Amino acid sequence: MVERRILSSAFSHLILILGVILVAFPIWITFVAASHDAVRMTQVPLPLLPGGHFFDNLYDALIRGVGNAREQSVGMMLFNSLVMALMIAIGKICISLLSAFAIVYFKFPFRMTFFWLIFITLMLPVEVRILPTFAVVANLGMLNNYFGLTVPLIASATATFMFRQVFLTVPDELLEAARIDGAGPLRFFKDILLPVSRTNIAALFVILFIYGWNQYLWPLLITTDKDMYTIVMGIKQMLEAAEESPEWHLIMMTTLLAMLPPVAVVISMQKIFIKGLTETEK
């Protein structure tokens, strides 16, 4: 910056540091809590520095299992969440890519009607249509399996709308050149459209993966079998341990583990994610 006065520089640093503390402190507490044993976590004051039980807790969470009777494995929950998040993200992307392709590139009767039909489902998230959706899923026998967990969440107006906008920025000449080159619609979709919107797909994948990972209400309704629990609802269940006091050290360990996959996805796809949101050249 041009302005180099010490006072204003110090002030802006102060604000930034406060911001970082605000964001990072809860995560630090989580980490600290995950590294102490059960006894220490019941004493006041709560520790602010890490203890020596981190790996014991990790072993408990992943191998021995958590919950009243040590019947729940965090590993299993992580796996369930991963499958659910991936199915939702990939399913959403596939469906909305295809529907956006149809809406942008094909002329059929009531094209705009269909577009608006898709669009107004934005106003009907799962929370609003939860009863009928549950009834349908139950009648189809999809309780307690991955399809029940994901299918109702897959149809996505947001993603369809976004891909529509992306496709609209692709110059018409590209389609015409491909037509003259002899590419049919699906060939054009596969060879030209998908590669051209690659970065947008990646950006959307990041957003949708986190959306899927953070699902709480729907898995809570759909799963009664402990083997199908996802990690987000798993944490909540652990808090409600009936007679005992909650095992904070294990809960925090689980929380820490639950944070890792989204973080990994964001970090590994960060570059392409930013490109997808900012790049305009087609």
Task: State the minimum distance, in angstroms, from the CB of residue 179 to other proteins.
Answer: 5
Contact call for residues 149 and 223 (beta carbons, < 8 A) = yes
Query: CA-CA distances (angstroms) from residue 48 to 18, 34, 38?
Result: 18, 11, 15
Distance between CA atoms of 69 and 62, rounded to whole angstroms? 15
- Rank residues 178 and 231 by Cβ distance to other proteins and give the closer one: 178
Distance between CA atoms of 87 and 150, rounded to whole angstroms? 6
Task: Round to the nearest angstrom and report the end-to-end CA distance of the chain.
Answer: 33
Closest CA to 69 of 254, 236, 263, 237: 237
Q: Is the peptide bond before 219 cis (omega within 30 degrees of 0)?
A: no
> Site size for other proteins, by CB under 8 A?
19
Examine residue 111 and tell whether it contacts other proteins (CB under 8 A).
Answer: no
Contact call for residues 95 and 155 (beta carbons, < 8 A) = yes
Task: State the minimum distance, in angstroms, from the CB of residue 176 to other proteins.
Answer: 5
Task: Name which of residues 161 to 190 contact other proteins (CB under 8 A).
Answer: 171, 173-174, 176-183, 187
Examine residue 136 and tell whether it contacts other proteins (CB under 8 A).
Answer: no
- Rank residues 111 and 187 by Cβ distance to other proteins and give the closer one: 187
- Show the CA angle centred on residue 250, arms to residues 249 and 254, nearest 5°: 120
- Selected from 70, 111, 190, 282, the binder of other proteins by CB under 8 A is 282
- Rank residues 183 and 259 by Cβ distance to other proteins and give the closer one: 183
Residue 193 CA to chain centroid, in angstroms? 25
- Rank residues 226 and 275 by Cβ distance to other proteins and give the closer one: 275
Task: State the minimum distance, in angstroms, from the CB of residue 194 to other proteins.
Answer: 9
- Greatest Cα pair distance in the chain: 75
Task: State the minimum distance, in angstroms, from the CB of residue 150 to other proteins.
Answer: 30
Examine residue 202 and tell whether it contacts other proteins (CB under 8 A).
Answer: no
Examine residue 196 and tell whether it contacts other proteins (CB under 8 A).
Answer: yes
- Selected from 191, 217, 227, 236, the binder of other proteins by CB under 8 A is 191
Examine residue 70 and tell whether it contacts other proteins (CB under 8 A).
Answer: no
- Selected from 90, 130, 192, 269, the binder of other proteins by CB under 8 A is 192
- Selected from 129, 198, 236, 271, the binder of other proteins by CB under 8 A is 198
H or E, element range at 58: helix 54-59
- Rank residues 42 and 165 by Cβ distance to other proteins and give the closer one: 165
- Show the CA angle centred on residue 274, arms to residues 232 and 124, nearest 5°: 50
Examine residue 19 and tell whether it contacts other proteins (CB under 8 A).
Answer: no
Extract the tokens encoding 113: 């009607």
Sites of contact with other proteins (CB under 8 A): 171, 173-174, 176-183, 187, 191-192, 195-196, 198, 281-282
